[in-house]
Structures are given as C-alpha cells and as structure tokens.
Chains A and B, each alone.
Chain A
Amino acid sequence: NAGVTQTPKFRVLKTGQSMTLLCAQDMNHEYMYWYRQDPGMGLRLIHYSVGEGTTAKGEVPDGYNVSRLKKQNFLLGLESAAPSQTSVYFCASSYFRGTEQFFGPGTRLTVL
C-alpha cells in the first residue's frame, strides 16, 4: 500500500498562475484534509472532506478551492497564485473523525 501520495513534490509558479495539487489515498478513508505548513505557524487546515462529493472550509480557505469527485482523491486548486501562498502543502486522510491522520510527503510550492 502506498498510503497517501501527493503530486507534484515541488513547484514554482509566477504570481497569477494557476495549478492543481493532487492527493491520493489507498486506505479507503472517508476523511481527507489539506493543510499548509509555514515556519512558526504550524499546520493550518485549508479545506477538508468528510466523504466523496463533500467539501468544507477550514481555517485558511481563501484563495483555494477543492474537489472530491472520487473517494480516493482530493484536489487542491489555486486559481490565481500569490506570493503569500508560498508554503509546504500536506494532504492527510483518516478513517473517522478525530482519529489518526495519515499524511502525504508534502508539496513545496514557491510563488514568485
């Protein structure tokens, strides 16, 4: 089992460009999450999903959109990237609410 995988691992964007980060999990988990991690700020929840076809806003959702068309995939989109979105993005999944979250290896995004 691969667990949680993220694509791509690294990306550099120019301000205003768009991109999609892909997260895939093979554990049949219902819950999936997108976080960003910045120095001194810890992990902050961007959006999450409690099942296929559902999404909800987290702590810092502005500038991001998500989709969960298939249970195993959770996509994070940046419509018009800004330098403030330079960060490391982590996807995670869990079997149930409040239970262990399994994290992917992260995507390091730089917006110039």
Chain B
Amino acid sequence: TQLLEQSPQFLSIQEGENLTVYCNSSSVFSSLQWYRQEPGEGPVLLVTVVTGGEVKKLKRLTFQFGDARKDSSLHITAAQPGDTGLYLCAGAEGSNYKLTFGKGTLLTVNP
C-alpha cells in the first residue's frame, strides 16, 4: 500500500505570513493532485502536477512536484483568511484506478 505523508498536520498563522506544506512518499506517482476542503464540504481540486520538477502557480499558491515524482510541496504567499481549510494531496499510480490520499494539513489563517 502506498502512503502519502503530509506535514505539518496542523498550521495556524497570521494573515500575511508565508507557509509551505509538504507531501512525501517512498513511492513514485504518475501524477499528484492537491485538493482544498472547507468545513462541511467535499474536497475541491486545486492543481494536478504530472512531470518531475514541475512548478505550477495559482495566484498566491505555488505547487512543486519533486524530480523523482515522490514528493510535492505547496507554498502560499501572503496567506489570507480565505485560505483556511484542509489541504490534501493525492497520488495517482499508473494504471491504478484509485488515488492515494494523504491525511491532510489543516491550515488556519487568523485575521
């Protein structure tokens, strides 16, 4: 069974601070997805990274896929209260029908 470890598990910061959350595995993934889940709702896709070393930017969010396609990071610049939520990474492996989800990082951005 492939595992995705996310760190930190919890993160509480002030508005305007920068932060990075990590998603690590000993396994290689063909692609990796990042989702954000707000309280009382289902996860919503933020981005998919496919190529080793790939960097994608979504406004103040920067996603990076490791060269070996085993790890990924999400960096948020100048965090805002609207960024509050549970951030989940999920890996897809080749012909497997399933995604492997990490346990998530619960981010709280205080005004």
For the side of the interface on A, what is the size category?
A: 20 to 34
- Asked if A76 is an interface residue, CB under 8 A from chain B, the answer is no
**Among B1, B88, B94, B95, which residue has its beta carbon within 8 angstroms of that of A43?**
B88
**In the bound complex, do residue B103 and residue A40 qualify as a contact, i.e. CB atoms below 8 Å apart?**
yes
Asked if A58 CB lies within 8 Å of chain B CBs, one says yes
Whether B41 pairs with A97 at a CB distance below 8 angstroms is no
Q: How near does chain A come to B43, taking the closest CB pair, in angstroms?
A: 5
Across the interface, do B97 and A106 meet the contact criterion of CB distance under 8 Å?
no
State whether the Cβ of A90 lies closer than 8 Å to any Cβ in chain B. Answer: yes
A-B contact count (CB 8 A): 58
Report whether B40 and A105 are in contact in the complex, using a CB–CB cutoff of 8 Å.
yes
The reply to whether B40 and A98 contact each other, CB–CB distance below 8 Å, is no
With an 8 A cutoff between CB atoms, is B30 at the interface? yes
Question: Which residues on B sit within 8 Å (CB–CB) of A90?
Answer: 42-43
Find out whether the CB atom of A100 lies under 8 angstroms from the CB atom of B33: yes
Q: In chain B, residues 15-34, which have Cβ atoms closer than 8 Å to a Cβ of chain A?
A: 30-31, 33
Q: How many Å from the CB of A54 to the closest CB on chain B?
A: 10
Binding site for A on B (CB under 8 A): 1, 30-31, 33, 40-45, 48, 88, 90, 92-99, 101-104
- By a beta-carbon cutoff of 8 Å, the part of chain A in contact with chain B is 4, 31, 33, 40-45, 48, 50, 56, 58-59, 90, 92, 97-106
